[in-house]
């Protein structure tokens, strides 16, 4: 237990490595990465071979970001594959100087409509992109010519900065994906994801055992586990330390029990390393918005739409004595405000296994909070047979495989 | 206090007192009956609530019994709970939730023989907690409805619960189930919109809802199984809301007060009307009677009433008529005495007037005999004496002629006479408004003419100094109550009018306000009217003119003299 309970200090050490996959290390290469055939195969779902261009219907849950379910409509500078290795995106290669502070990205000729100058201009003006750059210690963006962009960092980076794989820095291009295959959103009509499969969706990501069992029972679908992408943690704001005593001493067995009995999702005991235990100093950026009220005060808060978080919060309540504050589900916006202000007794929230911009993630929690990792979860991709081959990215996102 | 006031007060009391007593009695009786009916309904509702609560508990127990039978035959439950098969554990953990939803319960729990929770529907992740006291308490309560408070993830749950034991492979298990005891159950139990049902646990406030009146209580065994176990007694409290009955009573009181006020107003109005109805003719009769004196016996007491007031009025009228006859006789006697005196006075005056004439005649006779040549001279000398004596006698004759007419009734054309008098008056401001069909009046033409001459002359004199003043002489045919047909002549002027004091003296002999008046006009008019058997009324007010009305008996069918 003690080894997994991490208190977020006010001063973080310098980030050394953000890779959090069990098999992953620090991604990226200098100079441009050479494709690794073995790793590439590992991150390609064995659904089918690249075929003729076609539209693939990707079911997206209401609470899910369409860009996470399927990479569509934007292109990052680099990509992270399912094991956390950097891959070319809009940039076909990158190099660094001897100081490892200046990184030069060479844009691919296929990046139609996007130039280093337009990318830099868009990042500077788009709020989410600008915030990401500030949290990441990007000092400057200098377009050299029509294909080269030089990025200067506050601190040296041993590998290519993963922040350029972040969704907030994605850029819209004028061309279709290389394979010519298009992802088309397929919004769920009802509450049950199985309705989407019955209505013709080609791809559905889910962790619901009932949905997965249904898909496995059908011959026209294949089910593929995706990377462990989330860790559910108990966030205890300052002043709520007593809650950590609820966790039994045998933390591994406790977490395994949680993963096995408490939730209806594919889960495992949370496994280290955890990126938040090794984050360097973060810039102080005031991004707070007015809090509408103090939602979730004296409760164990969780996102109302997240059944896993709800189940874990319930279990924490069940383990507490009578004086324990009950759980309370909150809408996502109110939960974010409550968590940021730390008005609740505790929160059960999911955090990404891999944080591309760690300081931005940490800013969502009150300083001095204690984080107790509980379980890791992952989704599985249900793919209709005959769908062209799909590449899996670090967060479980899917995209069409490049044309041969 | 006046007679009318006493009558008003007596009538008001006679109406108000019994009405008020009646209203108060009705209101009190209605209030008593409302309260009694409400109390009986409340008591019946409490009994019905107790029975309904027992039925709810029986329904919960029946559902638990059916679920226990189902579980006993469930292989996956057997594998998970008895054999400890890990693959079936998720099924066991989720079983209570599904069963709870399907059976319509709000609380469902499976415990093993040690009281360890194997599956919980209302709090899915409280598995493995020890709560043996929960089924023990419920089973000990037997068929008595019992309340338990258990935890859920987000809030405590108060439930009407029951327990059922069953065995699988010889191992005992317990099912605990219940329905939420608040909101839905209370609404279902609520028997009457006037009553409020609430649950009270030992740690909750024990007083009924504010403003409510306690109707009854049903004690319920209670177990608080949230943390440290605590037992006690809960209560299902039935209160009468202050709403409906109070609103009914307020409405009753409001309408009672409104009806009482309206009744009082009506009673006072009725009393005022009755007292006025009774006192008004008496007051009018008294006012008429007050005007009667020997000189004014032409007051009209005629009435159409058939009651005592009418009889009294007719008696006064008859009395006035008798007085009028007596007064006429008295005046006749007086007149005869006066005539005697007058005759003696006339005799004396005429003698006085004749003496100089006789003396002159004797002187002239002596001159004609003794000195005939000087007769013309002497006649001229004594001519003045003769003329002054004749003038004196002429004046004397005219004055006496104005005092004592002799009535000779005949059918008179009043319209023609009015027109003639108005024409002879020579006044341009005198107009006539004559009735078309007017019966002849039974009157002495000279007397009637003298009456009209006096009244028209007075009216014309009254406006002589007023610019724009006018006199209207109108005639009409009337038929007074209790009397024969008559002719009414009205002479109305816009002159200065008279004060009450002036009017009181207007009929006195030799009273006049005019510089050249004789003071005999109205006095003669009044006497002439009385002699004609008619009536005279003067309505006057300073600044508003004077209206003189005379009524002369008509002679129906008669032919009027021109």
Chain A nearest-CA residue for B86:
A260
Asked whether the beta carbons of residue A260 and residue B93 sit closer than 8 angstroms, the reply is: no
Whether A318 sits inside 8 A of B228 (CB atoms) is: no
Cβ separation A318–B123 shorter than 8 A: yes
Q: Do both A63 and A80 map to the same domain?
A: no
Task: Give the gap in angstroms from C-alpha B132 to the nearest C-alpha of chain A.
Answer: 16
Q: Give yes or no: residues A208 and A308 share one domain.
A: no
B465 in reach of chain A (CB within 8 A) = no
User: Would you call A212 an interface residue with chain B, using a CB distance cutoff of 8 Å?
Assistant: no
State residue A40's pLDDT score. 47
Residue with tokens 């109302």, as numbered in its chain: A304
Domains of chain B: 38-246 (3.30.450.20), 308-401 (no CATH), 410-553 (3.30.565.10)
Q: Are residues A308 and A400 in the same domain?
A: no
- CB-nearest to B228 from A314, A322, A329 is A322
| φ/ψ of residue A334, rounded to 5 | -70, -35
* Domain assignment of residue A21, yes or no: no
Question: Measured between CB atoms, does A326 come within 8 Å of chain B?
Answer: yes
Residue A308 sits at the chain B interface (C-beta within 8 Å): no
What is the C-alpha to C-alpha distance for residues A135 and A162, in angstroms, rounded to an integer? 13
**CB distance B97 to B121 below 8 Å:** yes
**A303 & A328 share domain:** yes
Closest Cα partner for A93 from A103, A101, A85? Answer: A103
Same domain? A206 vs A306? no
- Residue A310's closest chain B neighbor by CA? B153
**CA of A331 vs chain B CAs: smallest distance (Å):** 15
* Distance of residue B117 Cα from the nearest chain A Cα, in angstroms: 11
A60 and A139, same domain (yes or no): no
Identify whether residues A58 and A127 lie together within a single domain: no
Q: A321 and B129: CB-CB below 8 Å?
A: no
pLDDT of residue B263: 85
For testing contact with chain B, the best of A314, A324, A374 (most B CBs within 10 A)? A314
Residue A363 belongs to domain spanning? 6-16+229-380
Q: What does the alpha-carbon distance between residue B394 and residue B388 come to, in Å, rounded to a whole number? A: 10
Q: Convert the pLDDT of each residue in A246-272 to its tens digit.
A: 666 557 888 899 999 999 999 999 998
Give me the helix-helix angle, B308-370 and B375-401, nearest 10°: 180
Q: Quick check: A261 and B129 CB within 8 A?
A: no
CB distance B301 to B313 below 8 Å: yes
Evaluated on CA atoms A311, A314, A319, A320, the torsion sign reads positive
Count how many pairs of residues, chain A against chain B, have C-beta atoms within 8 Å.
45
CATH number at residue A116: 3.90.76.10
For residue B124, give the nearest of A260, A314, A328 by CB distance. Answer: A314
Residues of chain B with pLDDT under 50: 206-207
A255 with A347, same domain: the answer is yes
Which of B125, B226, B227 has the CB atom closest to A314's CB atom?
Answer: B125
Phi–psi pair at A321, nearest 5 degrees: -85, -170
DSSP letter at B551 equals E
User: Per DSSP, which regions of A25-120 are E strands?
Assistant: 44-45, 55-60, 78-80, 86-88, 91-96, 102-107
**Does some domain include residue A37?**
no
From the list B141, B124, B121, B144, the residue with the least C-alpha distance to B53 is B144
b/e map B225-252, b = 16+ CB within 10 Å = bbeeeeeeebbbbbbbbbeebeeebeee
Say yes or no: A54 and A202 in one domain.
Answer: yes
Q: Are the beta carbons of A318 and B125 separated by less than 8 Å?
A: yes
Enumerate residues 245 to 264 of chain A having a beta carbon within 8 A of any beta carbon in chain B: 260-262, 264
From its phi and psi, is residue A283 left (phi > 0), alpha (psi between -120 and 50) or beta? beta
Say what the pLDDT of residue B252 is: 81
CA dist B382 and B389 (Å) reads 11
Contact B153 A313 (CB under 8 A): yes
Tell me which residues of chain A have a pLDDT lower than 70.
1-41, 48-53, 61-73, 112, 173-180, 188-189, 240-250, 285-297, 321-324, 402-404
Q: Is residue A401 part of a domain?
A: yes
Indicate whether A159 and A286 sit together in one domain. no
What is the distance between the alpha carbons of residues A144 and A78, in angstroms, rounded to a whole number?
19
φ, ψ for residue B425 (rounded to 5)?
Answer: -70, -25
A162 with A83, same domain: the answer is yes
Q: How many residues does chain A have?
A: 404
Does residue A358 lie in a domain region? yes
Q: Please indicate whether, in this complex, the C-beta atoms of B154 and A321 are within 8 angstroms of each other.
A: no
Partner-chain contact B127 A326, CB within 8 Å: no
Same domain, A287 and A276: yes
Give the per-residue pLDDT at B176: 96
Give the pLDDT of residue A120: 93
Q: Looking at the domain assignment, is residue A59 inside a domain?
A: yes
| Contact with chain A for residue B445, Cβ under 8 A | no
User: B84 and chain A: CB distance < 8 Å anywhere?
Assistant: no
For B225, the closest chain A residue by CA position comes to: A322
Among chain B residues, the shortest Cα distance to A321 is held by: B227
Please check whether residue A24 lies inside any domain of the structure: no
Residue A123 lies in a domain: yes
The answer to whether the CB atoms of B153 and A326 lie below 8 A apart is yes
* Nearest residue of B to residue A330, measured between CA atoms: B154
A111 within a domain of the structure (yes/no):
yes
How many domains, chain A? 3
Contact B152 A326 (CB under 8 A): yes
Residues on chain A touching B227 (C-beta within 8 angstroms)? 321-323
Looking at the partner chain, which of B93, B129, B228 has a beta carbon nearest the beta carbon of A261? B93
């Amino acid at each position: 237990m003690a080894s997994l309970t991490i208190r977020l200090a006010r001063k973080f050490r310098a980030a050394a490595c953000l890779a959090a996959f069990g098999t992953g290390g620090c991604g990226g290469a200098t100079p441009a990465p050479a494709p690794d055939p073995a790793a590439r195969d590992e991150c390609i779902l064995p659904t089918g071979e690249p075929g003729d261009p076609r539209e693939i219907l990707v079911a997206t849950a209401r609470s899910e970001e369409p860009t996470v379910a399927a990479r569509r409509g934007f292109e990052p500078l680099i990509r992270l594959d399912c094991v956390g290795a950097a891959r070319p995106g809009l940039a076909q290669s990158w190099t660094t100087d001897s100081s490892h502070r200046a990184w030069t990205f060479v844009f691919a000729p296929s990046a139609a409509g996007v130039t280093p100058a337009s990318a830099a201009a868009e990042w500077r003006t788009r709020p989410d992109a600008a915030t990401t750059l500030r949290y990441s210690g990007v000092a400057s963006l200098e377009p050299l010519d029509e294909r080269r962009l030089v990025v200067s960092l506050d601190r040296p980076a041993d590998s290519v900065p993963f922040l350029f794989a972040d969704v907030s820095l994605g850029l819209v291009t004028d061309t279709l994906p290389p394979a010519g295959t298009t992802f088309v959103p397929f919004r769920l009509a009802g509450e049950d994801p199985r309705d989407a499969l019955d209505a013709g969706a080609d791809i559905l990501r889910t962790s619901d055992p009932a949905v997965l069992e249904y898909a496995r029972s059908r011959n026209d679908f294949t089910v593929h586990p995706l990377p462990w992408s989330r860790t559910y943690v108990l966030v205890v704001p300052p002043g709520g330390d007593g809650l950590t005593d609820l966790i039994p001493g045998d933390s591994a067995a406790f977490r395994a029990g949680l993963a096995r009995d408490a939730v209806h999702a594919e889960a495992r005991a949370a496994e280290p390393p955890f990126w938040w235990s090794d984050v360097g100093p973060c810039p102080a950026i005031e991004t707070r918005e007015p809090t509408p009220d103090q939602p979730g005060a004296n409760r164990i808060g969780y996102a109302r739409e997240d059944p896993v978080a709800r189940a874990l919060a319930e279990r924490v309540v069940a383990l507490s004595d009578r004086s324990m504050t009950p759980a309370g589900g909150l809408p996502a916006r109110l939960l974010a405000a409550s968590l940021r202000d730390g008005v609740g007794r505790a929160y059960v929230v999911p955090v990404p296994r891999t944080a591309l911009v760690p300081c931005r993630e940490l800013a969502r929690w009150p300083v001095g909070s204690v984080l107790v990792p509980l379980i890791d979860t992952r989704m599985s991709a249900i793919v209709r047979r005959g769908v062209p081959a799909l590449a899996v990215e670090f967060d479980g996102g899917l995209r069409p495989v490049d044309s041969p | 206090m006046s007679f009318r006031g006493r009558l008003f007060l007596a009538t008001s009391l006679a109406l108000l007192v019994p009405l008020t007593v009646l209203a108060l009695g009705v209101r009190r009786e209605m209030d008593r009956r409302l309260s009694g009916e409400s109390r009986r309904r409340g008591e019946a509702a409490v009994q019905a609530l107790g029975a309904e609560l027992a039925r709810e508990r029986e329904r919960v127990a029946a559902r638990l019994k059916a679920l226990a039978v189902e579980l006993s035959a469930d292989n996956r439950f057997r594998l998970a709970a008895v054999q400890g098969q890990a693959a079936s554990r998720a099924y066991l953990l989720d079983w209570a939730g599904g069963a709870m939803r399907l059976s319509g319960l709000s609380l469902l729990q499976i415990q093993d023989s040690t009281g360890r929770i194997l599956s919980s529907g209302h709090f899915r992740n409280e598995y493995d907690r020890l709560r043996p006291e929960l089924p023990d308490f419920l089973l000990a309560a037997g068929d008595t409805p019992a309340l338990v408070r258990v935890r859920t993830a987000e809030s405590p749950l108060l439930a009407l619960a029951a327990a059922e034991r069953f065995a699988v492979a010889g191992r005992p298990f317990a099912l605990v189930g219940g329905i939420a005891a608040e909101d839905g159950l209370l609404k279902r139990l609520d028997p009457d919109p006037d009553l409020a049902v609430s649950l009270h646990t030992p740690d909750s406030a024990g007083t009924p809802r504010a403003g409510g009146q306690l109707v009854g209580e049903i004690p319920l065994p209670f177990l608080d199984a949230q943390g440290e176990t605590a037992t006690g007694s809960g209560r299902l409290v039935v209160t009468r809301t202050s709403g409906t009955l109070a609103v009914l009573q307020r409405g009753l009181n409001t309408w009672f007060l409104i009806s009482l006020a309206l009744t009082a107003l009506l009673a006072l109005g009725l009393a005022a009307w009755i007292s006025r109805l009774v006192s008004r003719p008496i007051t009018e009769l008294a006012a008429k009677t007050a005007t009667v004196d020997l000189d004014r016996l032409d007051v009209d007491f005629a009435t159409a009433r058939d009651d005592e007031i009418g009889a009294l009025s007719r008696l006064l009228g008859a009395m006035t008529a008798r007085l009028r006859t007596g007064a006429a006789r008295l005046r006749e006697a007086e007149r005869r005495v006066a005539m005697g005196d007058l005759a003696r006075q006339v005799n004396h005056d005429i003698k006085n007037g004749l003496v100089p004439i006789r003396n002159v005649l004797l002187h002239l006779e002596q001159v004609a005999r003794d000195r005939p040549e000087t007769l013309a001279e002497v006649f001229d000398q004594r001519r003045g004496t003769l003329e002054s004596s004749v003038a004196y006698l002429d004046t004397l004759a005219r004055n006496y002629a104005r005092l004592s007419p002799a009535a000779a009734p005949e059918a008179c054309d009043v319209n023609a006479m009015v027109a003639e008098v108005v024409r002879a008056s020579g006044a341009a401001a005198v107009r006539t408004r004559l009735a078309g069909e007017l019966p002849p009046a039974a009157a002495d033409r000279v007397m009637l003419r003298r009456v009209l001459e006096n009244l028209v002359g007075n009216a014309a004199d009254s406006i002589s100094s007023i610019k724009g003043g006018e006199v209207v002489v109108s005639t009409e045919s009337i038929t007074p109550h209790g009397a024969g047909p008559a002719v009414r002549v009205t002479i109305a002027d816009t002159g200065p009018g008279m004060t009450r004091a002036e009017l009181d003296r207007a009929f006195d002999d030799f009273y006049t306000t005019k510089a050249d008046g004789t003071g005999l006009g109205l006095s003669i008019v009044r006497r002439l009217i009385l002699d004609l058997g008619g009536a005279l009324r003067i309505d006057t007010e300073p600044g508003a003119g004077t209206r003189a009305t005379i009524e002369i008996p008509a002679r129906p069918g008669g032919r009027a003299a021109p």
